[in-house]
């Protein structure tokens, strides 16, 4: 039996998933860690945490599953995107990694726009400069920690530091490379124009590979630590969202992935590179060779419902919280909820945006508020779908949903009604780690390509079709769309 390991290096834990060559999950292990906020807006993490957690998780999943270490024939990597790891010429980390959720780089984003021009920046990279991306973090280090920058010789992302520890190779997959906004989106490689404008030597950037392409092999030293044989191929993998799309089968045009976790992510595969002219959708390379994707991000999706529950009914189960909402009419008798509790990214890249209930009257009860939270998040996710359509992506046939929010039948139905498309759940629930293992299996020849791998291993187990309430929501959606423009001046003043 041949087995494959998928690693997901997230912000709070590293997961190791063991899969056999038929796609069956044999075991999952996870090792948790924390991140630091040494100053307001800062978010940092020691890369050593990721490697220690990788060692622990791989050893645990091999031990618990009972398979022989010699059965492992490939490793795939996935993980948190955009984080900045700086290393010197000896491969030593120079400072804690600056993470994707770090917000210190507003001034550096302005600098990038000034040097390139916003329109040109978007045309090259597919994206506007946002604080979450890697490039403004590099500028911040240049300007604020010149002693660190003077020693820098290698720039990596979190999962690629794990790759380095495994293989002694400086490499990065093209999906994550695009997420640095130092990539030429159409050419799928580093942009000499971006690097020159930001004064980043090209030699500092790693070699880039496609998702299933072998980037190196497990070194003897790493193999001893992991309890695996040396020489196992390690493939490119992908950022967590691209790898998760592979893990749900969202690898062809028409099938969109929607993750309804703390944040909400809408992910749409494209056969050719496309750009949303104002950069309101992220445009990146896919982990699938020769494909790209659009991505819309809502910062507080299921996180909005969690805030609502924890604030007003702490300890109540979600089932009990949502049960009385089924008796509330769609539209909640004129009540709207804006889900901008932590600012927003799509369609409004506005860190000052605030959450709001709009339309409250004495007739409204607590179940009205609860249902309005679900409807508001669903309306907000539709904003991303409207941008996809406006950017030319038509023919969406199915939305594959994952995340804690879609466990609710009520929420699935509301989403289907508001998005006006069939929602589907699939037989896999491990997201990025499963996608990374499929990339590994494809890379060593088990499957002809990623599309074949997904067809062989991933299938739909349940669907939810739009119902009669879609007519009501279609009338309400324009009212929702008008709320942010009306309240934005107030948000700015409060900010």
Q: Which of 176, 240, 383, 417 is catalytic?
A: 240
Determine the pLDDT at residue 29. 97
Distance CA 6, CA 438 (A): 8
Specify if 228 maps to a domain: yes
Max CA-CA distance within the chain?
Answer: 69
Distance CA 308, CA 318 (A): 11
How many domains, in total, are found in the chain?
1
Specify if 133 maps to a domain: yes
Specify if 248 maps to a domain: no
Please say whether the beta carbons of 240 and 81 come within 8 A: yes
Distance set, CA 71 to CA 74, 288, 320 (Å): 9, 25, 45
Q: Mean pLDDT score of the chain, rounded to an integer?
A: 96
Residue 333 has what DSSP assignment?
T
pLDDT above 70: percentage of residues in the chain? 100
Distance CA 161, CA 141 (A): 18
Question: To which residue do tokens 């780089």 refer?
Answer: 105
Categorize the per-residue pLDDT at 394 as very low, low, confident or very high, splitting at 50, 70 and 90. Answer: confident
Residue 13: beta bridge partners? 32
Categorize the per-residue pLDDT at 321 as very low, low, confident or very high, splitting at 50, 70 and 90. Answer: very high
Specify if 100 maps to a domain: yes
Does residue 268 carry a pLDDT above 90?
yes
Specify if 467 maps to a domain: no
290: left (phi over 0), alpha (psi -120 to 50) or beta: left
Q: Which of 463, 458, 452 is nearest to 427 (CA)?
A: 458
Distance CA 119, CA 431 (A): 34
Q: Quickly list DSSP for 62-108.
A: HHHHT--GGGEEEEEEEE-SS-BEEE-TTS-B-SPEEPTT----HHH
What is the distance of C-alpha 96 from the center of its chain? Answer: 21
Specify if 324 maps to a domain: no
277 is written with which tokens?
């002219």
Distance CA 153, CA 326 (A): 58
Distance CA 143, CA 151 (A): 14
Q: Quickly list DSSP for 145-210.
A: -HHHHHH--EEE-HHHHHHHHHHS--EEEHHHHHTTT-EETTTTEE-HHHHHHTT--GGGSPEEE-
Which tens digits make up the pLDDT trace of 446-472?
999 999 999 999 999 999 999 999 999
Determine the pLDDT at residue 187. 97
Specify if 351 maps to a domain: no
433 is written with which tokens?
């780690």
Please say whether the beta carbons of 155 and 204 come within 8 A: yes
Domain range for 192 is: 3-242
Distance CA 391, CA 273 (A): 11
Specify if 231 maps to a domain: yes
Categorize the per-residue pLDDT at 404 as very low, low, confident or very high, splitting at 50, 70 and 90. Answer: confident
Which tens digits make up the pLDDT trace of 21-74?
999 999 999 999 999 999 988 999 999 999 999 999 999 999 999 999 999 999
Q: Which of 435, 383, 374, 366 is nearest to 407 (CA)?
A: 374
Categorize the per-residue pLDDT at 261 as very low, low, confident or very high, splitting at 50, 70 and 90. Answer: confident
Look up the CATH number of the domain holding residue 115: 3.30.420.40
Residue 131 has what DSSP assignment?
T
pLDDT above 90: percentage of residues in the chain? 92
Distance CA 484, CA 159 (A): 36
State yes or no: is 240 an active-site residue.
Answer: yes
Please say whether the beta carbons of 233 and 178 come within 8 A: no
Residue 260: beta bridge partners? 264
Distance CA 411, CA 393 (A): 25
Query: Sign of dihedral through CA atoms 220, 225, 226, 227?
Result: positive
Integer distance in angstroms from the first to the last C-alpha of the chain? 58
* Number of residues that this document lists for the chain: 495
């Amino acid at each position: 039996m041949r087995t494959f390991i998928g690693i997901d290096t997230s912000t709070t834990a590293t997961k190791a998933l063991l899969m056999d060559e038929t796609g069956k999950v044999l075991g999952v292990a996870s090792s948790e860690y924390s991140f630091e906020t040494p100053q307001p807006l800062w978010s940092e993490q020691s890369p050593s945490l990721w490697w220690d957690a990788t060692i622990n998780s791989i050893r645990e999943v091999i031990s618990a599953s009972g398979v022989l270490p010699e059965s492992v024939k490939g490793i795939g990597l996935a993980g948190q995107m955009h984080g900045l790891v700086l290393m010197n010429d000896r491969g030593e980390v120079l400072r804690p990694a600056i993470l994707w959720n770090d917000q210190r780089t507003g001034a550096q984003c302005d600098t990038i726009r000034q040097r390139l021009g916003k329109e040109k920046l978007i045309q090259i990279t597919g994206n506007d400069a946002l604080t979450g991306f890697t490039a403004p973090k590099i500028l911040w280090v240049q300007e604020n920690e010149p002693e660190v920058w003077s020693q820098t010789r290698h720039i990596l992302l979190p999962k690629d530091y794990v790759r380095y520890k495994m293989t002694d190779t400086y490499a990065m997959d093209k999906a994550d490379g695009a997420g640095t906004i130092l990539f030429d989106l159409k050419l799928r490689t580093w942009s000499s124009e971006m690097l020159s404008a930001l004064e980043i030597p090209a030699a500092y950037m790693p070699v880039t590979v496609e998702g299933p392409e072998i980037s190196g092999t497990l070194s003897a030293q790493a193999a001893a630590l992991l309890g695996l044989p040396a020489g196992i191929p390690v493939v490119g993998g992908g950022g967590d969202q691209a790898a998760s799309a592979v893990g749900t089968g969202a690898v062809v045009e028409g099938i969109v992935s929607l993750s309804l976790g703390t944040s909400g992510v809408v992910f749409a595969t494209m056969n050719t590179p496309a750009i949303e002219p104002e950069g309101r959708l992220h445009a990146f390379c896919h982990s699938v060779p020769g494909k790209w994707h659009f991505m819309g991000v809502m910062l507080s999706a299921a996180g909005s419902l969690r805030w609502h529950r924890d604030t007003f009914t702490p300890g109540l189960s979600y089932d009990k919280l949502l049960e009385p909402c089924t008796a509330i009419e769609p539209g909640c008798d004129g009540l709207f909820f804006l889900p901008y509790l932590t600012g927003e990214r799509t369609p409004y890249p506005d860190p000052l945006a605030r959450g709001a209930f709009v339309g409250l009257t004495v007739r409204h009860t607590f179940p009205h508020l609860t249902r309005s939270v679900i409807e508001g998040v669903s309306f907000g996710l539709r904003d991303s779908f409207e941008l996809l359509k406006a950017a030319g992506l038509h023919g969406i046939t199915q939305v594959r949903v994952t995340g804690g929010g879609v466990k609710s039948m009520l929420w699935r139905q509301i989403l289907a009604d508001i998005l006006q498309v069939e929602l589907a759940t699939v037989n896999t629930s491990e997201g990025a780690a499963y996608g990374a293992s499929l990339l590994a299996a494809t890379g060593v020849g088990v499957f002809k390509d990623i599309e074949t791998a997904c067809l062989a291993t991933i299938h739909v187990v349940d669907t939810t079709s739009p119902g009669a309430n879609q007519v009501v929501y279609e009338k309400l959606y324009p009212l929702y769309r008008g709320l942010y423009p009306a309240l934005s001046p107030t948000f700015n003043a409060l900010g």
